[in-house]
Amino acid sequence: MTVNQQFKQGDFRQTLKYWRSCKKMSQLDLAVSAEVSQRHVSWLETGRSKPSREMVLRLSEAMDVPLRDRNQILNSAGFASAFSEKALSEPTMRPVMKVLEDMLDHHNPFPAIVLDRLWNIKMKNQAAEALFDFAGQGEQMWSDIGDDGSHNLALFSLHPKGLRQYISNWDEVGSALFRRLRRETIDSGDTELIDKFKTLESIVGDMPEENPNISLLPILPLEFVFPGSEFSLSLFSVISTFGTAQDITADELRIEAFFPTDDATRHFFSQ
């Protein structure tokens, strides 16, 4: 179920309350951020005032609502959508595709992938392709974990039959990975993502408890040991997004680039 399915046209009051709750903002917090009076926010939520299109966009911006859901908030108030959603294959998205291709290519020989809002892999570079093949014997592991063809990175990483079985420091990083996904889910307010996370939670089983004794490193690397290998790989990732996206597809894409944390891992990918 999406937010649009939850709140139909005319349900702006409930939609505003929903997003304010998701963002953990009081009426005063929202009023200050949007530079309006608290009374006006209250009147919008009780129906005493009707919002203008500009006010809906202003409040959505103040709550940092994703573009997809800004459209849905507009629709709930009786206004047309403001943001387009184009496929990456469309001609107008060619500049976006070119940037993604360049970023992935320039990051070789280290892995990099492009994800959508549901953690599905949309693009990857040669190094990521090689790493996934090395870990999962091509498509076999995707089949083993029950992936539906979308190549979901969250499922691939957390499923007991997925990449998780090769993460030697799982007791350290498992809970951190899971908390990151939970935080992304809660912060998004996206009910489709929430449903996706609940399904993932039921599949992956119990996560290790957070270890308070982990040394306070600047980053917590993933340590991989693969069958038949005499070496381990140590990687950490950096996530990038488009800062001024005006299209829903571009707004939801994330580039996750992996970097080696030691010379042995750097040599493995560079040879």
Residue 163: its pLDDT value, please? 87
Euclidean distance between CA atoms 208 and 206, whole angstroms: 7
Residue 210: its pLDDT value, please? 60
* DSSP annotation of 106: H
* DSSP annotation of 150: S
What are the structural domains of the chain? 3-76 (1.10.260.40), 91-270 (3.30.450.20)
Residues whose CB falls within 8 Å of the CB of residue 194, separated by 6 or more in sequence, listed in order:
185, 186, 188
Bridge partners for 123 per DSSP: 114
Residue 42: its pLDDT value, please? 97
- Structure tokens, 131: 């790493």
Digits of tens for pLDDT over the chain (271 positions)?
Answer: 344 445 554 589 999 999 999 999 999 999 999 999 999 999 999 999 999 999 999 999 999 999 999 999 999 999 999 999 999 999 999 999 999 999 999 999 999 999 999 999 999 999 999 888 777 666 788 888 888 889 999 999 888 888 888 898 888 888 888 888 888 888 888 888 999 899 888 887 766 566 555 555 567 888 988 877 677 899 999 999 998 899 999 999 999 999 999 999 999 898 8
Nearest-Å Rg of the Cα atoms of the chain is 21
Nearest by Cα to 68 from 254, 191, 248, 253: 248
**Are 198 and 181 within 8 A, CB to CB?**
no
Please give the single-letter amino acid code of residue 203.
I
Residue 238: its pLDDT value, please? 94
